[in-house]
Copies of this chain bind each other. A is one copy, B any other.
Amino acid sequence: MVIVLNSSSTPEQIEKLKQELENFGCSVWPTYGKFQTILGIVGDTGKLDRDYLLSKPFVEKVLSVQEPYKKVNRTFHPENTLINVGQQTIGGNQVAVIAGPCSVESPEQIVSIARQVKSAGAGFLRGGAFKPRSSPYSFQGLQQEGLELLKQAREATGLPVVTEIMSIKQLENHHEDIDIIQIGARNMQNFDLLKAAGQIAKPILLKRGQSATIEELLMAAEYIMAGGNENVILCERGIRTFETYTRNTLDLSAVLAIKRLSHLPVIVDPSHAAGLWWMVEALSKAAVAVGADGLIIEVHQDPGNARCDGQQSIKPDRFAALMKSLREIAHIDNRTL
Contacts and interface: CB of A to CB of B under 8 A. Distances in A.
Contacts of A66: 35-36
A55 interface: yes
Nearest to A256: B279
Contacts of A169: 168, 192
A152 interface: no
Interface of A: 2, 4, 29-36, 38, 40-43, 46-47, 49, 51-52, 54-57, 61, 63, 65-66, 68, 75, 132-139, 166-170, 186-187, 189-193, 195, 209-211, 213-216, 219, 222-223, 226-227, 239-246, 249-254, 256-257, 260, 273-274, 277-279, 282-283, 285-291, 303-311, 313, 325, 328-329, 332-333
Contact of A31 (B42, B216, B250): B42
Nearest to A308: B51
A279 B253 contact: yes
A213 B243 contact: yes
Nearest to A260: B278
B166 A168 contact: no
A283 B242 contact: no
Given A35-B66, A226-B136, A273 B286 contact: no
Contact of A38 (B40, B253, B332): B40
21 contacts: A31-B42, A33-B42, A49-B138, A52-B307, A55-B305, A55-B313, A63-B65, A133-B191, A136-B195, A166-B192, A167-B168, A187-B189, A187-B190, A211-B211, A213-B244, A241-B249, A243-B251, A243-B254, A253-B274, A256-B283, A283-B290
A88 to B, nearest CB: 24
Contact of A253 (B29, B137, B246): B246
A211 B186 contact: no
B186 A166 contact: no
A285 to B, nearest CB: 4
Nearest to A257: B245
A170 B191 CA distance: 13
Contacts of A133: 191
A136 B251 contact: no
A37 to B, nearest CB: 9
Contacts of A245: 213-215, 253-254, 257
Nearest to A191: B132
Contacts of A211: 209-211, 240, 242
A244 B212 CA distance: 11
A252 B252 contact: yes
A273 B249 CA distance: 14
